Structure 1
Amino acid sequence: MSDRTALIIGGGVVGMTTALMLQRRGWTVTLVEAEENPRAASWGNAGHIATEQAEPIASPKMVRGFAGRLFCRGGALALPPREIGTWLPFALRLLGAARADRYARAHTALAALLAEAMPAWRRHVAALDTPGLLREDGHVVLWETPESAACGLAGWQAADTGTARFRALTEAELAQWQSRIASPIAGGIRFEGSGQIADPTQLADIARTRFLADGGTLLTGRVAAIGDGEVRLTDDRRLSAREIVVTAGVASATLLRPFGLKAPIIAERGYHLQTGPQVDWPADLPPVVFEDRSMIVTRFAGGLRAASIVEFARAKARPDPAKWNRLRHHIAALGLPIGEDAKPWMGARPTLPDYLPAIGRVPGVRGVSYAFGHNHLGLTLAPITGELVAGMLEGDATAVSLTPFGLERFS
């Protein structure tokens, strides 16, 4: 066995980016993906590089506003009664993580990680020789009533937005947005320092092509067990490598349980609707958040996408058509050019109760590590996570301390 062989379990954006980072350091990498054509949240997200989200969602502020965010009250937070056995234990842990002392520690850790996110993305697209994939044009937040505009602006002014900054939209900018939106626009802000991926599907294709061209091995299969330097698939194939990295999203918890690690993860399911590429929406418009509706709309090369909903449920539970209907209601009210022919999608964000990712080594076991649980920030944090994992495997000092992200915090 070569001293520089790695096996990555999970081919989402974090797994694939980690594989590419290791290849650039001279590792021979095999990547195991559970599905031939994965539809993970990695490729169905809003494409937003969210450097402004330096405050973990598990916070005292979130707890105070919990009731107003519920889906049954017009919000985006869905707690299906039939899934109470799944979300109630998670919700109780989330409340514990939102205590002031734990939140303060998580806030410090997440802000440090996000500060490295955009520089890591620049390095990544440069290495892929695709600078056009990353658009550093910020994003816009709009409000539809004077009350929500005043409240929303005050909230952002009091928030830690990390390396991102914002300013109020000018009257001319507000008029331009109003010309495209049927609902009244009462106010808005323009962020700088955030960005977007031009098209997540294109990113996936480019990353896969580069991985294979650089000698990577891509296998389709489901992992049954991880041992000392070996992985056994459900079809009894056995794979060996010096380093095994678990980047399997929600499935990671089950794979790591035999090592005595607790990962109280949940599938935080999101929904979107997307048109085809021929749509009356300028390609150069940045992502726009309709904060009153908890919905983000992004123009990709492949079409216009409206995304929303935070649904706590089992990853394999059936999608709820009511969530897409809510999106259609918002789209119609705003007059967005997303018609009935828009394709629906649902995917599961892997989320831990403190809204920090899990990045670290399995203690007491040779050559097994993990990187998963990035919740809403998987795309944002993929390149910096890949760099951190590569540094960790080589014993280098990392740009960000990994101590806050170890699963030992749940012991």
Structure 2
Amino acid sequence: MPNGNSQCGALVIGGGIVGLSCALALQSRGIATHLVAPASMIGTASWGNAGHIATEQVEPLASLGTVRSLPRRLFARGGPVSLPPGEVGAWLPFALRLLAAARPSSFRRGSAALAAGLAEAMPAWRRLVRQIGAEDLLAEDGHFVMWESAASAARGRASWASAPIGTATVRDATGDELARIGSLVRVPIAGGVRFTGSGQIADPTALAAALEAALLAAGATRRAGQVLALAQRDDGSIEATLAQGGAIVAKRVVVAGGAASGDLLRPLGHRVPLIAERGYHIQSEAPGWPATLPPVVFEDRAMIVTRFRTGLRAASFTEFGAVATPADPRKWARLHAHASDLGLPIGEDAARWMGARPTLPDYLPAIGRSRRMANLFYAFGHQHLGLTLGPLTGELIGALATGDAPAVRLEPFDLDRFERR
């Protein structure tokens, strides 16, 4: 195991889907790779999300439409967006930067950048699951969006019909599809659409285990721990100081630590306006919910319901604040209320989760090479698209680290974009 007296070819900081994908890509390119992350990453956003591979979400959430819709989407009015008063010091500066990023010209550039990345997302997922021998964990069955009133169905259909959705396609749900979903809930279903070209992970816990096993089998090493600081040495290598004591010296370092990434990069001179965008879910065993049914978005409730092998998960909310702020029990209570209204087989004893998505104000990830240290790379800030773009991000970092041309242009994802504003 690498320590302060030896070097590894690459150190990856972060064990979520992005970090694991980066480590596996580097190791597969012949670079002796060491990964440092907490002992268990199951509680993080990579594995607590809805399991949805969202190839259709090509428009950044930093948009004038998002800004205009905010008042009716606030948690206090029954919506999914929470701006806790005690966290105003975190979310107000972020909100002001989001307003700047929502300008039409910035939004168009962001949409083009996301569309290019999302076009490569599903092919990258196919390559990854094939590489780790876990093809059964990737389902490419699309997803549904359902509405409970004629008015919301009309608005929703019109919105999706006019929205860019990249490589995905959308059509009206058939009568049989509406009847199937309607038979599972106790509220009327007034309409719905079905997307194709999107996908789902069948079992997030099994995926995490398969990725770690494949990484170790390829010859990489892993340490449970936390990196506190990075510093360049006289020989050009980078020394990573560990919270548990000691240090690791590496020829290359990839910062893929999610919402904690800014703490490592800011002392090096990078501007990182990152916020923790927290989400919530509840999950329990799923008697009566078909194992073959793709994810269903109940758009009137801003909630997505996903059937995993381990149970049925209902997920929602966008809560802006700090990583360490305690969870808000009202979010779980509302999820339970929605589940009860719908008649979902999710009881009061369901497992509860809250985790932080790493989000930058223009809703684009940060993927690239530091201009301050040529052997320092970063891959974080994927907001709601971490699971979707994780495998592709690993491939992009692998290409950068070995001098190959990345599959998509990385200039829009350069972290220094925040220093030019």
TM-score by length of 1: 0.98
1:91 aligns with 2:99: no
Match of residue 160 from structure 1: 164
| The one of 371, 383, 387 aligned to 1:375 | 383
1:81 aligns with 2:85: yes
Secondary structure, counterpart of 1:57 in structure 2: coil
| The one of 121, 124, 127 aligned to 2:128 | 124
Aligned length: 410
Secondary structure, counterpart of 2:327 in structure 1: coil
Match of residue 263 from structure 1: 272
Match of residue 64 from structure 1: 68
Determine if contact 2:7/2:251 at 8 Å carries over to the other structure.
yes
Secondary structure, counterpart of 2:345 in structure 1: coil
User: Alpha-carbon deviation of 1:4?
Assistant: 7.6
User: Alpha-carbon deviation of 1:92?
Assistant: 0.9
| The one of 296, 302, 311 aligned to 1:288 | 296
Determine if contact 1:296/1:308 at 8 Å carries over to the other structure.
yes
Match of residue 188 from structure 1: 192
Q: Distance in 2 between matches of 1:134 and 1:232?
A: 37
Match of residue 22 from structure 2: 18
Same amino acid, percent of matched pairs: 57
| The one of 260, 278, 300 aligned to 1:251 | 260
Secondary structure, counterpart of 2:30 in structure 1: coil
User: Alpha-carbon deviation of 1:34?
Assistant: 3.1
Secondary structure, counterpart of 1:350 in structure 2: strand
Q: Distance in 1 between matches of 2:200 and 2:41?
A: 23
Secondary structure, counterpart of 2:219 in structure 1: coil
Q: Distance in 1 between matches of 2:243 and 2:209?
A: 27
Alignment of 1:7-406 (within 5 A): 7-36=11-40, 38-228=42-232, 229-276=238-285, 279-406=287-414
Q: Give the alignment's Cα RMSD to 1 decimal.
A: 1.3
- CA-to-partner distance for each residue in 1:296-327, whole Å, 9 max, x for gaps? 00000110000000000111100000000110
Determine if contact 1:2/1:242 at 8 Å carries over to the other structure.
no
- CA-to-partner distance for each residue in 1:337-365, whole Å, 9 max, x for gaps? 11111100000000000000001111031
Q: Distance in 2 between matches of 1:28 and 1:38?
A: 25
User: Alpha-carbon deviation of 1:192?
Assistant: 0.4
User: Alpha-carbon deviation of 1:188?
Assistant: 0.2
TM-score by length of 2: 0.95
Residue segments in structure 1 that go unaligned for 5+ positions in a row: none
- CA-to-partner distance for each residue in 1:32-58, whole Å, 9 max, x for gaps? 003445511001010000000000011
Q: Distance in 2 between matches of 1:266 and 1:108?
A: 23
User: Alpha-carbon deviation of 1:366?
Assistant: 3.3
Match of residue 235 from structure 2: none
- CA-to-partner distance for each residue in 1:129-155, whole Å, 9 max, x for gaps? 111110000000000000000000111
Q: Distance in 2 between matches of 1:364 and 1:327?
A: 45
Q: Distance in 1 between matches of 2:176 and 2:37?
A: 48
Determine if contact 1:269/1:348 at 8 Å carries over to the other structure.
yes
Secondary structure, counterpart of 2:141 in structure 1: coil
